[in-house]
A and B are shown apart, each in its own frame.
Chain A
Amino acid sequence: MTDQGAIATLSGVAVRMGGTAILRDLDFALDGGEVVGLFGGNGAGKTTLLRVLATLLRPSAGHVDVLGIDVTGDDRNLLRGRIGLIGHTPALYPELTLRENLQFAADVRGVSPSAMHDALGAVGLGAVADRRASACSYGMQRRTEFARELMLEPDLILLDEPHSALDSSAADLVGHLADGVAARGGAAVLVSHDRERVEKVVGRTVELIGGKLR
Chain B
Amino acid sequence: MWPQIRAVAGRDLLRERRRGEVTWVTLPFGAIALLLIPLAIGTDAPTLRRIGAGLYWIVVLLFGVLVTVRRTAAEGPADRDLAHRLGIDPAASFSGRALANTSMLLVFQLVVGVVAVALYDLEISHWPWLIVVLPAAAAGLGMLGTLAGSIAAGQGGANLVPFLVAPLAVPLLLGATQALDAGLRSGGGILSWVLLMVLVDVLLAIVGVLTARPLQETL
User: Do residues A96 and B15 form an inter-chain contact, with CB atoms below 8 A?
Assistant: yes
Pick from B76, B81, B86: contact of A56, CB below 8 A.
Answer: B81
Convert A107-142 into 0s and 1s, putting 1 for each residue whose CB lies closer than 8 angstroms to a CB of B: 111100000000000000000000010000000000
Interface of A is mostly: mixed
Pick from B6, B79, B81, B88: contact of A93, CB below 8 A.
Answer: B79
User: Do residues A107 and B85 form an inter-chain contact, with CB atoms below 8 A?
Assistant: no
Q: Give, as a whole number of angstroms, the nearest-CB distance from B29 to chain A.
A: 21
User: Do residues A108 and B3 form an inter-chain contact, with CB atoms below 8 A?
Assistant: yes
For the complex, give the distance between the alpha carbons of A95 and B14 in Å.
8
For the complex, give the distance between the alpha carbons of A193 and B11 in Å.
36
Convert B76-89 into 0s and 1s, putting 1 for each residue whose CB lies closer than 8 angstroms to a CB of A: 11110110111111
Residue A68 at the chain B interface, CB threshold 8 Å: no
User: Do residues B79 and A56 form an inter-chain contact, with CB atoms below 8 A?
Assistant: no
For the complex, give the distance between the alpha carbons of A90 and B87 in Å.
18
User: Do residues A90 and B88 form an inter-chain contact, with CB atoms below 8 A?
Assistant: no
- Taking CB atoms, residues of chain A closer than 8 Å to B14 are 95-96, 100
Closest to A81 in B: B87
User: Do residues A108 and B84 form an inter-chain contact, with CB atoms below 8 A?
Assistant: no
Q: How many A-B residue pairs have CB under 8 A?
A: 65
- Taking CB atoms, residues of chain A closer than 8 Å to B6 are 107
For the complex, give the distance between the alpha carbons of A78 and B89 in Å.
10
Residue A28 at the chain B interface, CB threshold 8 Å: no
User: Do residues B3 and A95 form an inter-chain contact, with CB atoms below 8 A?
Assistant: no
- The A-contacting residues of B in range 3-23, CB under 8 angstroms, are 3-4, 6-8, 10-11, 14-15, 18-19
- Taking CB atoms, residues of chain B closer than 8 Å to A108 are 3-4, 7-8, 86-88
User: Do residues A77 and B213 form an inter-chain contact, with CB atoms below 8 A?
Assistant: yes
Q: Give, as a whole number of angstroms, the nearest-CB distance from A116 to chain B.
A: 13
- The A-contacting residues of B in range 132-157, CB under 8 angstroms, are none
Residue A85 at the chain B interface, CB threshold 8 Å: yes
Residue A191 at the chain B interface, CB threshold 8 Å: no
- Taking CB atoms, residues of chain B closer than 8 Å to A89 are 76-78
Q: Give, as a whole number of angstroms, the nearest-CB distance from A92 to chain B.
A: 8
User: Do residues A91 and B213 form an inter-chain contact, with CB atoms below 8 A?
Assistant: no
The answer to whether A85 and B87 touch (CB under 8 A), given A90-B78, A91-B79, A93-B15, is no
Closest to B11 in A: A104
> In the complex, which of the residues B7, B18, B85, B213 has the most CB atoms of chain A within 10 Å of its own CB atom?
B85
Residue A105 at the chain B interface, CB threshold 8 Å: yes
- Taking CB atoms, residues of chain A closer than 8 Å to B3 are 107-108, 110
User: Do residues B11 and A80 form an inter-chain contact, with CB atoms below 8 A?
Assistant: no
The answer to whether A80 and B87 touch (CB under 8 A), given A91-B79, A110-B3, is yes
Q: Give, as a whole number of angstroms, the nearest-CB distance from B94 to chain A.
A: 14
The answer to whether A54 and B85 touch (CB under 8 A), given A104-B11, A107-B6, is yes
> In the complex, which of the residues B18, B81, B86, B89 has the most CB atoms of chain A within 10 Å of its own CB atom?
B86
Convert B87-130 into 0s and 1s, putting 1 for each residue whose CB lies closer than 8 angstroms to a CB of A: 11100000000000000000000000000000000000000000
Convert A43-78 into 0s and 1s, putting 1 for each residue whose CB lies closer than 8 angstroms to a CB of B: 000000000001110000000000000000000010
- Taking CB atoms, residues of chain B closer than 8 Å to A104 are 7, 10-11
- Taking CB atoms, residues of chain A closer than 8 Å to B85 are 54, 56, 80-81, 83-85, 91
User: Do residues A93 and B11 form an inter-chain contact, with CB atoms below 8 A?
Assistant: yes
Q: Give, as a whole number of angstroms, the nearest-CB distance from A100 to chain B.
A: 7
- Taking CB atoms, residues of chain B closer than 8 Å to A175 are none
Pick from B11, B81, B84: contact of A96, CB below 8 A.
Answer: B11
User: Do residues B15 and A91 form an inter-chain contact, with CB atoms below 8 A?
Assistant: no
Closest to B20 in A: A95
Chain A positions within 8 Å of B, measured between CB atoms, are 54-56, 77, 80-85, 87, 89-91, 93, 95-96, 100, 104-105, 107-110, 132, 152
Please name 11 pairs of A and B residues whose Cβ atoms are closer than 8 Å in the assembled complex, sorted by A.
A54-B85, A80-B85, A89-B78, A95-B18, A96-B11, A96-B18, A100-B14, A104-B10, A108-B86, A108-B88, A110-B3
